[in-house]
Amino acid sequence: MRKFAALLPLLLLACTAGDVAKTVATADEIVAKAREEINMACWAMQTADVAFMVFVAPKADPAILENEKRAVAAANAICANPPSNVNEAIASILNAYKVATTAAAVTGI
């Protein structure tokens, strides 16, 4: 373990700005290629929401319905404008998380 700790600074120094830029470019490319999967996930989420509204909503507590409404709104925002790079993906995820945690805090779910 101590040998690894001694090598860690050398490994960190080996990362150049070019390596970082290449990694970011690769990550952006992966996110851009994931748009098809994002679209499929959006379709699945919307289908699940319809099933929720048909089978669960009629007997669900209003707090649960409000939480579902907020979660679907956050997902729909991502679906309407899928991220094309890592920065957009992270921002979308953080915004969806903020919406979900706010709903959970309000409803206690």
pLDDT tens digits in sequence order for the chain, 109 residues long: 555 565 556 556 666 767 778 888 888 888 888 888 888 888 998 999 999 999 989 998 998 888 888 888 888 888 888 888 888 888 887 877 777 666 666 555 5
Q: Which residue has the tokens 């729909």?
A: 76
Query: What is the per-residue pLDDT for 63?
Result: 87
Query: What is the per-residue pLDDT for 27?
Result: 83
Is the Cα torsion angle 62, 71, 108, 102 positive or negative in sign? negative
**Structure pTM?**
0.60
**Longest alpha-carbon distance in the chain:** 62
Distance CA 46, CA 71 (A): 11
Query: What is the per-residue pLDDT for 59?
Result: 92
Query: What is the per-residue pLDDT for 8?
Result: 59
